[in-house]
Structure 1
Amino acid sequence: MVPLEPLPGACRTPLISLLLVCCLLPLGAQRQEFSLQVEPQDMVVSAGGSLLVNCSTDCPHPKSITLETYLFKETVGSGLGWEAFQLNNVTGDSKVLCSVLCNGSQITGSSNITVYRFPKRVELAPLPPWQPVGENLTLRCQVEGGAPQAHLSAVLLRGEEELSRQLAVGESTEVMATVLARRDDHGANFSCRWELDLRPQGLGLFQNSSAPRQLRTFVLPVTPSRLIVPRFLEVGTSRPVDCTLDGLFPASEAQVQLALGDQMLNSSVSSQGDTLTATATATASTEEGAWEIVCNVTLGGESREIRENLTIYSFWGPIMNLSEPTVPEGTTVNVTCAAGPRVQVTLDGVPAKGPGQLVQFQLNATEKDDRRSFFCKATLEVDGMILHRNRSVQLRVLYGPKIDPARCPQHLMWKERRIHVLQCQAQGNPDPQLLCLQKSSGVQVSVGIPFRVTLNYSGTYFCRATSSQGTKTLTVVMNVQVRKPLSVTIAMVVLTILGFAIVTAAFLYVFWVQKQSAIYHVNRGSTWLPLTSKQPDEALGEEPS
């Protein structure tokens, strides 16, 4: 049997089905006493596959069992009341019709063929590089091909969680789902899966998924960063700069840039929780004036920026100078102090005539000026704030040695074999060397060091202070008294105590004797006449008449 030539694909199936219906409708309307079975019923085959169709009848004398289809067919077997056909390269859904002549009547039977094919492609559309938390995210999945579409679904997944399920309609189908981005979605995998469910046809569930795409979510708060910078910065100096932003997610993936004007700063970035901190060192290597330090935080393609003003200034000095730091006594010394062009200086309370000018004075160096310190105070106004800086310098005056008699007694009275210290001090610049030598023997006695005195220390001493500026001598007379023996001292103490006891006893005895034999004197009366009283009317100093 020669297979039928297939018609063009678009109109082939409808046209053949229409012809079969038109030709067989009168016959099908006839009463069928016998039946014709087409097996299997409702056949399902993969695209391009083959089918074995069996047409069988219970008619006792069938004639001409045929199979009507647009597919290529081939008879592979026959027998009494049946005939089997092989259908090859089944590429589309169709309907096959078996017919047979039985007692002059035509009996028919049919079966549907469903072709299934897997989608050619399933792909999840690219996700945005970053998705803000709390905003809607639209997922799009493209499914191409696949049949039967009544059993083909496209499923959008977050990990293994099903977000949306829709039927794939059309040769190329796009399914969409909208989800609200969450913090937990950061790093989550999203994918798309097609499912062809042929379990009702007895085959099973077929599925395949697209390559997963990872989502990155972020939170970049509207509140600005906290930028801590110095208000002023002197040229050539460095100060730390800190930039902090809270409520940032994920803080570890944010980028921070710190800049001083157009100079990028090398910053160290650390994060703890949702807080990001960047620290850098700002060095004033640019010219003086008003500058800005900028902190820029970038995350998820968005950025937050904060700026703070910084004033760079130059404040050199004050510089103090002595014409000579060390001078002999009587030398004229010049003292000067100077600073920058906008700096006001004051030297020992004497201000300069104006900012940027130096101040100076002269003095005739004396002994009292040795180790004298001169102070210079410098002030600079920067953006309404007064800055201060001080310097000092010390003058050394060279003068000859001097021995202060108040600090070096010239007459000493010491006991023999006692520990004594010769206290004697000399002054001068440079510090003089002080030696005390006995006039007669030239023996040196220690100065300022305890020593035991003996009789040979008695005598006159020359205490001489010597330095590069001269010599000063002071005479010291030392008298050493002989110390009495211990036995003599003890005898004197005993006699003194004994004498005191005798005197005390004698005094007590005399006092007791006088008390026992006291002499009493009796007043024998006066030889004078007794006094007579005067009358009141008698005049004093007048004789009676």
Structure 2
Amino acid sequence: MTGGSRLFPGSPWTPLEMSPFGGWGLLSAFLALLCCTGSGEEAFEVRTWPEQLMVESGESQVINCSTTCTQPNTGGLETTLHKTLLAEQDQWKLYEVFNISQDTDVICHFTCSGKQESKSLNISVFHPPKQVLLKLWPTLVAVGRSFTIQCRVPSVAPLEGLTVTLLHGSEIVYSQTFVGTTLSPQEAMVTHNTTAHREDNRHNFSCRAEMDLRSRGGDLIHRVSDPQALDVYAVAPEADRYLRGASCLEEAEVGLPGIAYVSGMATSTAATGTQHGSLGLWFSPG
């Protein structure tokens, strides 16, 4: 109508102008209300320190429970172990748990504006190598003959990550890393057969056990056996023929210091060295 006010815009595609206090403002306020409903229960986190924990059987450990909630209502540590609260502030609590003898879980929890969150911490128990027992047999062996090195590590757990290394002086003779997930204590044993050499009596043999728990929140633990000596002797050609049935009698062969030699039924001792037995085992002084 001419001269009258129009109820609709001239074009159906022309949007209505709305102030922040008009319909669009009301819609925005409604969406904000939906978004912020329950904002008093906004998300928060619960954390534990350490995040991984591996302890020796029977030990105690300090555990910290913390939260990102600025004003938690309650919080604490749930566990079947005996515990003591050492210190606390609004956003953290420090506990000590005692006598951890088996694998267990502890739970840190906090309540913030009526909402509870928790975090579980698994505690794994290990049994370190306390004994490393080395055995050589025979302990007296001829050059070129075989002998056995055996190392036992009693009552260790877990076997996974345990490495047992046989050493001759500082040289590695043989090494074995164990696998498996058995957590109960058991014996780890390594047996290695090798051949005696003239230089084998110049250094002692030993065994080293290493338990690497670093990937599970622990440390690198190692222990070494007492050293063991191997007596090595050479067989003189004449003595070798005698041992095969010949009757040739010869004195002990002169050789490297510290090595014993076998000759036939020698009736006199050498100028240097000590005779052992009727077959003439000779140990030359070093």
TM-score interval (norm. to shorter): 0.5 to 0.7
Name the CA shift for 1:206/1:120 in 2 (closer, same or farther; >3 Å): closer
Name the CA shift for 1:256/1:32 in 2 (closer, same or farther; >3 Å): farther
Q: Does 1:128 pair with 2:138?
A: yes
1:142: how far off? 0.6
1:124: how far off? 0.5
Query: For the residues of structure 1 that align with 2:234 and 2:71, how far apart are their CA atoms?
Result: 84
Match among 202, 207, 224 for residue 192 of structure 1: 207
Higher relative contact order (CA 8 A, sep 6+): 2
Q: Please name the residue that 2:234 is paired with.
A: 219
Aligned ranges 1:147-226 → 2 under 5 Å: 147-167=157-177, 171-198=186-213, 205-220=220-235, 221=237, 222-224=240-242
1:210: how far off? 1.2
Query: For the residues of structure 2 that align with 1:33 and 1:91, how far apart are their CA atoms?
Result: 36
1:99 aligned partner, one-letter code: H
Name the CA shift for 1:94/1:51 in 2 (closer, same or farther; >3 Å): same
Query: For the residues of structure 2 that align with 1:70 and 1:181, how far apart are their CA atoms?
Result: 56
Q: Please name the residue that 1:119 is paired with.
A: 129
1:157: how far off? 0.8
Name the CA shift for 1:187/1:257 in 2 (closer, same or farther; >3 Å): same
Q: Please name the residue that 1:244 is paired with.
A: 250
Q: Secondary structure at the match of 1:213?
A: coil
2:78 aligned partner, one-letter code: E
Aligned ranges 1:28-67 → 2 under 5 Å: 33-67=43-77
Name the CA shift for 1:32/1:157 in 2 (closer, same or farther; >3 Å): farther
Q: Please name the residue that 1:86 is paired with.
A: 96
Name the CA shift for 1:178/1:146 in 2 (closer, same or farther; >3 Å): same
1:148: how far off? 4.4
Query: For the residues of structure 1 that align with 2:190 and 2:101, how far apart are their CA atoms?
Result: 26
Q: Deviations over 1:224-253 (max 9, x none)?
A: 3664xxxxxxxxxxxxxxx31677877855
Q: Please name the residue that 1:139 is paired with.
A: 149
TM-score (norm 2): 0.65
Q: Please name the residue that 2:20 is paired with.
A: none
2:206 aligned partner, one-letter code: S
1:62: how far off? 2.9
1:138: how far off? 2.1
TM-score (norm 1): 0.36
Query: For the residues of structure 2 that align with 1:193 and 1:32, how far apart are their CA atoms?
Result: 54
Query: For the residues of structure 1 that align with 2:230 and 2:198, how far apart are their CA atoms?
Result: 10
Q: Deviations over 1:20-65 (max 9, x none)?
A: xxxxxxxxxxx98211111221134343332221212223453332
Query: For the residues of structure 2 that align with 1:252 and 1:142, how far apart are their CA atoms?
Result: 29
Q: Deviations over 1:480-509 (max 9, x none)?
A: xxxxxxxxxxxxxxxxxxxxxxxxxxxxxx
5+ residue gaps, structure 2: 1-40, 180-184
Q: Secondary structure at the match of 2:121?
A: strand
Query: For the residues of structure 2 that align with 1:124 and 1:185, how far apart are their CA atoms?
Result: 16
1:244 aligned partner, one-letter code: E
Q: Decide which structure has greater strand share.
A: 1
Q: Does 1:100 pair with 2:82?
A: no
Query: For the residues of structure 2 that align with 1:199 and 1:60, how far apart are their CA atoms?
Result: 33
CA contact (8 A) 1:226 1:245 kept: no
Q: Please name the residue that 2:30 is paired with.
A: none
Q: Deviations over 1:169-200 (max 9, x none)?
A: 75211112222211221354111111233555
Q: Please name the residue that 1:70 is paired with.
A: 80
Match among 256, 269, 279 for residue 297 of structure 1: 279
Query: For the residues of structure 1 that align with 2:104 and 2:190, how far apart are their CA atoms?
Result: 28
Query: For the residues of structure 2 that align with 1:120 and 1:183, how far apart are their CA atoms?
Result: 33
5+ residue gaps, structure 1: 1-30, 228-242, 259-266, 278-295, 301-545
* Larger Rg over CA atoms: 1
Query: For the residues of structure 2 that align with 1:81 and 1:102, how far apart are their CA atoms?
Result: 11
Query: For the residues of structure 1 that align with 2:159 and 2:218, how far apart are their CA atoms?
Result: 16
Q: Secondary structure at the match of 2:279?
A: strand
Aligned ranges 1:265-280 → 2 under 5 Å: 267-270=267-270
CA contact (8 A) 1:32 1:107 kept: no
Q: Deviations over 1:358-386 (max 9, x none)?
A: xxxxxxxxxxxxxxxxxxxxxxxxxxxxx
Please tell me the root mean square deviation across aligned C-alpha atoms, in Å: 3.6
Aligned ranges 1:327-476 → 2 under 5 Å: none
CA contact (8 A) 2:159 2:178 kept: yes
- Identity across matched positions, percent: 31
CA contact (8 A) 1:114 1:148 kept: no
Q: Please name the residue that 2:6 is paired with.
A: none
